[in-house]
Chain A
């Protein structure tokens, strides 16, 4: 397990899975998100406040990843699409069936607004040597997800640290 496969080494620093969001940013999902955490910030509920402070409706910044996560099903889709595909590629290539996210950094740029169509790509930054944790034996990895809007304005970067592992038998 100590040797990192050649293919995984090649992925480090490579811009992969560039894609446009499957759907436009929309207010219905903003309400769903706000309801899930009881977020009453008037920027998302009061048009006069939104117009005055942010020039119109915006989405909560932490919804950034929502806009490129695919629906669970679509009629013309073949295979199973995963929202953070590099993470799942690593699990498969490294033979690590289980994984959890341990660290998450989000940096927010221009506000995301209803009607926006975001474009994202993923970059694998690093893969650790094998480590043993209370979950099992595995590796940590760091993945950046960059996002821009349809005008090319940077709207944010998410950095995920994942731990892929095999449970101790």
Chain B
């Protein structure tokens, strides 16, 4: 869980650095709660018969907006509250079903400072179930350049996600 006192700064990270692993046991409640939390009423996220008969999959599965929320939680657990998400791109490769143990892993791909002095870490992330990679994600997150810096104060042309 995100530490309120965590203040990961740009100096703390380097290319190749791994993020701590996060494992989550998915159950039907995980899927349904995630769908309702993202106001996704489509039946393949709560109706097993529909998922099997119409989508041709074995069960209900996690929806895309909720997976984005899982990725956000994974990233902010690492950065602490001063980390500010700028961009997130992910690809669904396979579905995640009740009974799966999904494991988040990630690494820092690069670190940079933009023209207006904002520090950025580019991350490569993925969620796997056993040996199956279910989603891959690239994220760009702003980190404080110093202990007194705060990316959340950036606005307008000073914010370049």
User: A residues touching B (Cβ–Cβ < 8 Å)?
Assistant: 29, 32-43, 46, 49, 53-55, 60-63, 65-66, 69-72, 83, 98, 100-111, 135, 160, 167
User: B residues touching A (Cβ–Cβ < 8 Å)?
Assistant: 1-2, 4, 30, 33-34, 36-41, 54-56, 64-66, 68-73, 76-77, 81-82, 85-92, 150, 152, 155, 159, 161
Bound-state Cα–Cα, A161 to B61, Å = 18
Bound-state Cα–Cα, A65 to B92, Å = 18
Bound-state Cα–Cα, A27 to B40, Å = 18
Bound-state Cα–Cα, A37 to B76, Å = 12
Among the listed A41, A63, A66, which residue makes an inter-chain contact with B2, where contact means beta carbons less than 8 Å apart?
A41
Which 4 pairs between the two chains have the least Cβ-Cβ distance?
A69-B39, A40-B1, A36-B37, A39-B73
Beta-carbon contact of B152 and A111 below 8 Å: yes
Nearest residue, chain A, Cβ from B35: A36
Return A133 CB to nearest CB of chain B, in Å.
12
Beta-carbon contact of B81 and A103 below 8 Å: no
B39 to chain A: which residues have CB within 8 Å?
Answer: 66, 69-71, 83
A110 to chain B: which residues have CB within 8 Å?
Answer: 155, 159
Bound-state Cα–Cα, A54 to B86, Å = 15
Beta-carbon contact of B85 and A35 below 8 Å: no
Extra 11 A-B pairs, beta carbons < 8 Å, given A41-B2, A60-B72:
A33-B37, A37-B37, A39-B72, A40-B2, A41-B77, A65-B65, A101-B92, A104-B92, A105-B87, A107-B87, A160-B64
